Amino acid sequence: MKLHEYQSKALLRDRGVAVPEGHVATTAEEARSGAAKLFDAGSARVAVKAQVHAGGRGKGGGIKLASSADEAAQFAAAMLGSQLVTPQTGPEGVAVNQVYIEAGADIANELYVALTLDRGRGCPVVIASAEGGMDIEEVADTNPDAIVREHCEPGWGLRSFQATRLAYRLGLTGKAARGVAATMMKLSHAYRDLDASLAEINPLVITGDDGVIALDAKFDIDDNALYRHPELTALRDTSEEEPLEMEAAEHSLSYVALDGTVGCMVNGAGLAMGTMDEISNAGGFPANFLDVGGGASVERVASAFRILMKGERVSAVLINIFGGIVRCDRVAKGVIEALNTVAVDVPIVVRLQGTNAKEGREILRGSDVEFIVAETLHEAAEKAVAAASGQAEA
């Protein structure tokens, strides 16, 4: 789950990290009054920042500096309700529903600091760079030596000496080094306490008087850990999420929309990916990834069909079930029952394998619904691709 900048900053502020004053606004009027407060408090300029989950907002015009409350209101009016296109969104962009009005900072130096998981080492890693404000992957490509790292070992977490070491390796000294090291410690505690998968401050600003301020911040939270963070779950903003993926998640289905024409319904994530690959190898294009999981009850299969068929371009469906503990005959019954409640007007290729596959296939054959039955995964993919191209009867 992704958090917005303003949410992430509130979490950091709670943990003692300095962040600029700011106000969330959903209307130009709110933006004006938020900006006015900041100007009254002495800000020379305020930033108007689109609150979207995608990165690269600056490049897409999602961050503007205003010199008056009126100007801030104008920027906010232009952003709110617009579709913001950034290097990390598709060409259609994402809708801006909230802006954050924030006091400008006195920037002497900009750093990058983040914690994320190092999968190879199996532990979190702090990644820092003296090139703040830039995308870290860009820095990794153009100037990898500018990036320094320290691992948070199991049981030990980030130790103070590691944070200090990072600060010195970034070329800092004195108060700025101590401030950055302290911020890294706080960020690592936040990462841990919030079950984050990413905690990023970019840029982390050194001010003219060697203060340290988080000018942008981003937390991604581990979905598996949300059960123990109701306070974070309440921060979820689903406006940028794919509606079908959300609907699938509500039914404990794992669904990802793709661009192709062959709708897939598979049990197991690996087999679902493998099925997509096989469709591709057969010359077709999968319309989605869809894992119905281990249970595959009638209700679940029906939901899966419903979501699958909402994919606009689906012109054939491939059901690929490898029965393990799940019995194929039960799945077959589920499919038939599901089809009584969901209108499916495209060819359906079914491949059942594993436990009670034969019985399952017989059930399908004996039903009113017309299925194209396949034996192997390869055959199933070929038939589905052909069906999607309108050659089902060929």
Partner 1 sequence: MSIFVDSDSRIVVQGITGSEGAFHTQQCREYGTNVVAGVTPGKGGLLFQDEVPIFNTVIEAVEATGADVSMIFVPPPFAADAVMEAADAGVRLAICITEGIPTLDMVDVVGYCNARGTRLIGPNCPGVITPGQCKVGIMPGFVHKEGRVGVISRSGTLTYEAVDQLTRVGLGQTTCIGIGGDPVIGTTHRDCLERFAEDEKTEAVVMIGEIGGSGEEEAAAYIADDYPLPVIAFIAGQTAPPGKRMGHAGAIIAGGKGTAAEKMKALREAGAHVVESPSEIGAKALEVLGP
Give me the active site residues, please. 112, 200
Q: Which is nearer to partner 1, 56 or 104 (CB)?
A: 56
The C-alpha angle 327, 287, 240, rounded to 5 degrees, equals: 105
The partner residues of 128 in beta bridges, in order of sequence, read 113, 148
In angstroms, give the least distance from the CB of 163 to partner 1.
Answer: 10
Q: Does 138 bind partner 1 (CB under 8 A)?
A: no
In angstroms, give the least distance from the CB of 180 to a second copy.
Answer: 22
Q: CA 266, CA 263: separation in Å to the nearest integer? A: 10
Amino acid at site 112: Y
Q: CA 123, CA 143: separation in Å to the nearest integer? A: 24
Q: Does 366 bind a second copy (CB under 8 A)?
A: no
Among 107, 134, 258, 344, binds partner 1 (CB under 8 A): 258
In angstroms, give the least distance from the CB of 152 to a second copy.
Answer: 12
Q: Which is nearer to partner 1, 28 or 115 (CB)?
A: 115
Q: CA 91, CA 367: separation in Å to the nearest integer? A: 44
Q: CA 313, CA 106: separation in Å to the nearest integer? A: 52
Residue 170 contacts which entry, a second copy, partner 1, none (Cβ below 5-8 A, type-dependent)? none
Q: Which is nearer to a second copy, 153 or 222 (CB)?
A: 153
Among 170, 215, 266, 302, binds partner 1 (CB under 8 A): 266
Residues 267-286: x/- map of binding to partner 1 (CB under 8 A)? xxxxxxxxxxxxxxx---xx
In angstroms, give the least distance from the CB of 287 to partner 1.
Answer: 11
Going by the DSSP 8-state scheme, the letter that residue 330 receives in this structure is H
Q: Does 231 bind partner 1 (CB under 8 A)?
A: no
Q: Which is nearer to a second copy, 92 or 227 (CB)?
A: 227
Q: Does 156 bind a second copy (CB under 8 A)?
A: yes
* Pairing relationship of beta strands 217-221 and 196-207 according to DSSP bridges: antiparallel
Among 146, 310, 354, 359, binds partner 1 (CB under 8 A): 354
Q: Does 230 bind a second copy (CB under 8 A)?
A: no
Q: CA 380, CA 350: separation in Å to the nearest integer? A: 7
The CA-atom distances, in angstroms, between 234 and each of 24, 25, 187, 226, 250 are 17, 18, 21, 10, 16
Q: CA 126, CA 185: separation in Å to the nearest integer? A: 10
* Contacting positions for a second copy (CB under 8 A): 154-156
